[in-house]
Structure 1
Amino acid sequence: MHTQANLLLERNIKVYGMGTILVEPDTAEVQIGVVTQNMEAQIAQQENAMIVQEVIHSLQNIGVVQENIQTIDYSIFPQYDYVNGLQQFKGYQVTIMLAVTTSLNLIGEVIDTAIRNGG
């Protein structure tokens, strides 16, 4: 004999679905790099830091908020030339990459501003 509780346990409903929403993009991410070279690593780092700060400051002046500017890469590498098979030290290269998230209508201005200020 089936009790009412057993009947409820024997019933199953499975539902599967899929949905798609199409929207027009309204934001973009731009990667901006600052590269400096110097015979001394510390000077190359200092020069790079000053330029990066100028780029960030200029982007904030056109309306990009600090939270939308992130450092995504930082590297220091010695640079060498090879002349007649001999390795010659050229100095150090420092690179900082920034990711800037902005609205699509500001993307051109972000790129132009970054380039004008050392990016």
Structure 2
Amino acid sequence: MQNRIQLAIAAATIAALISVPAQADVPPPAISVTGEATISAPPDLAQIEAGVTTDAKNARDAFEANNAAMGKVLAALKSAGIAEKDYQTSQLSLQPQFTNQNRSGSNVLSGYRATNRVTVKLRDISKMAGVIDAVTAAGANDIGSINFMVSNASKLLDDARAEAIVDARRKAEIYAKAAGVSLGGPISIAEHGSAVPVMYRRAAAPMAAEAAIAPGEETLRVTVGVSWEIKGAP
């Protein structure tokens, strides 16, 4: 008897749940737009890569010659006023080199190549040409890419974020006016993509004395998506 009562109660509960209409979550009417802002600023930091590549018949000679040449490059950096904390080794390798005298035969070991490169941070970009000239004069024969950066990028990006919201509001008000409604508060705000500025890489050409360097400007861009509540919507 008790089991019958429990089954009857369960059936009545299920029937009651089925008879209640589902209350779907209907989002409020909104206008969704994308706001953008761009800020340009001259870079005040830079990175360069400088190194030495040496070839020799055997591994020991290649390594020792490379080590001696790199010592001169590091000394040149120190003489140029670059603090030791602002340069560090980025690549160190010793690789066998092969030639194929007879294309139908196997490769022949011809010697070894040693490479040592350092990444140098410049806190005063006006010194870049002088530093490049100094390291090349000291024996650096492997100048890599040049990166320009903005040290206060976070502050500039925050300013751009505020401007992007203003831009989104402007666009939303245009749509609202055209539709005969007014805007309420923002329902959602989302930053699109990465707001981190991209470092511009410029391949270094062969350097002469007092090499000409054009840092240009760095562009910081922010894009946000904003949904605004609509007031007065039918």
Q: For the superposition of Structure 1 and Structure 2, which TM-score range results when normalised by the shorter chain? A: 0.7 to 0.9
Q: CA deviation at 1:39?
A: 1.2
Q: CA deviation at 1:110?
A: 1.0
Residue in structure 2 matched with residue 113 of structure 1 by the alignment? 134
Structure-2 separation of matches of 1:57 and 1:43? 21
Structure-2 separation of matches of 1:23 and 1:70? 27
2:79 is aligned with 1:58: no
2:119 is aligned with 1:99: yes
Equivalence map 1:67-78=2 (5 Å): 67-78=85-96
Q: CA deviation at 1:81?
A: 0.9
Deviations 1:30-54 (A, max 9, x none): 0012101111111111111111110
TM-align CA RMSD: 1.7
Residue in structure 1 matched with residue 57 of structure 2 by the alignment? 39
Higher relative contact order (Cα pairs below 8 Å, separated by 6+ residues): 1
Deviations 1:41-98 (A, max 9, x none): 1111111111111001011111111111100011111001111223221100000111
Partner SS for 1:84: coil
Residue in structure 2 matched with residue 29 of structure 1 by the alignment? 47
Q: CA deviation at 1:21?
A: 7.4
Residue in structure 2 matched with residue 4 of structure 1 by the alignment? none
Partner SS for 1:64: coil
TM-score (norm: length of structure 1)? 0.78
Q: CA deviation at 1:24?
A: 3.0
Structure-2 separation of matches of 1:40 and 1:82? 18
Identity of aligned residues (%): 28
Structure-2 separation of matches of 1:68 and 1:78? 31
Q: Unpaired runs of 5+ in structure 1?
A: 1-19
Q: Which amino acid aligns with 1:67?
A: K
TM-score (norm: length of structure 2)? 0.41
Runs of 4+ in 1 over 2 A off after TM superposition: 20-24
Residue in structure 2 matched with residue 12 of structure 1 by the alignment? none
Partner SS for 2:42: coil
Q: CA deviation at 1:22?
A: 5.9
Larger Rg: 2
Q: Which amino acid aligns with 1:89?
A: L
Equivalence map 1:13-28=2 (5 Å): 23-28=41-46
Equivalence map 1:80-99=2 (5 Å): 80-85=98-103, 86=105, 87-99=107-119
Alignment length (residue pairs): 101
Structure-1 separation of matches of 2:87 and 2:68? 16
